[in-house]
Amino acid sequence: MCLELDHLYICVKKKAPEIKILQNAGLELAPDTTSHTGQGTAAIFFNFENFYLELIWVENPDELNKFDKKLTEKFAMASNGGSPFGIGLHRHDPSDRPLPFKTNSYYAEWMKPGSSIDNAEIEHINQPEIFVVAPYMNWSQAIKDYPKLLETTKHQAGMRQLTRLIISGPEIPGESEAMRVLDEQRIVEFKSAKEHLAELVFDNAGEGKSIDCRPVLPLLIYY
């Protein structure tokens, strides 16, 4: 399999007031906020050694709607029963082998010229967005190239590496080719449920502890 998990995003309210529940549980917020110029969104991050959690919101609705009406719908539905999740993947080698599911490429002003993100085709608004980032966005490679980034992965709660990701919700897994591939390859597990939920398991849950962020965030963390 040419793909590995890179990050998970969750759609949140503007300026992400939801971060407090994670900070109070012993997670350290990364120092930088990213503005997606030309896309109308912005985000903050919780970094780990092999993965990061992104909380993303609409910063400029007009700019977002002009950029991508489907993404506008994604954010609108995320607060009204649709999936709030996006699953970011990266290639684990520089191969140009075809991706194992159908995708559509897009480019935005905030990205490096000549690069693109490949979005998997999804069947239903209740399904998470699945996409493959451009090579320069690869989080695992960034950690290797810039060791100082490891300082942003140290959390008071102690979790270090993601070892399992489970995404649940209505219409999951449905007929999604991308979700089937990720599930078969044990990159992400998908389960049908009435409510949207992401379960992050760090370090094989060796401490036997958990953080339940509901109802503030549809998120359960085990470590």
Query: By the 8 A CB rule, do 67 and 39 touch?
Result: yes
CA dist., res. 112 & res. 131, Å (int): 17
Backbone CA torsion sign across 12, 165, 209, 142: negative
Domain annotation covers residue 15: yes
Domain annotation covers residue 217: no
User: For residue 165, what pLDDT is reported?
Assistant: 98
Domain annotation covers residue 123: yes
Domain annotation covers residue 199: no
CA dist., res. 114 & res. 15, Å (int): 30
Backbone φ and ψ for 46, nearest 5 degrees, come out as -120, 115
Query: By the 8 A CB rule, do 173 and 188 touch?
Result: no
pTM comes to: 0.94
Domain annotation covers residue 180: no
CA dist., res. 81 & res. 74, Å (int): 10
DSSP letter at 40 equals: T
Which residues span the domain enclosing 133? 3-157
Residue 75 Cα distances to 65, 99, 171, 217, angstroms: 11, 26, 18, 15
User: For residue 1, what pLDDT is reported?
Assistant: 63
User: CB atoms < 10 A from the CB of 212, how many?
Assistant: 13
Residue with tokens 């690869």: 138
In the chain, which stretches have pLDDT less than 50?
none
26: Cβ contacts below 8 Å, ≥ 6 apart:
155, 156, 157, 158
Nearest to residue 39, comparing CAs of 9, 63, 72? 63
User: For residue 118, what pLDDT is reported?
Assistant: 95
Q: Convert the pLDDT of each residue in 126-174 to its tens digit.
A: 899 999 999 999 999 999 999 999 999 999 999 999 999 999 999 898 8
Backbone CA torsion sign across 120, 123, 129, 130: negative
User: For residue 180, what pLDDT is reported?
Assistant: 94
Domain annotation covers residue 175: no
Backbone CA torsion sign across 37, 134, 17, 46: negative
Structural domains of the chain, count: 1
Domain annotation covers residue 219: no
Domain annotation covers residue 191: no
Domain CATH for 17: 3.10.180.10
Q: Which two tokens stand for residue 4?
A: 């590995």
Q: H-helix or E-strand containing 13? A: none
User: For residue 59, what pLDDT is reported?
Assistant: 96
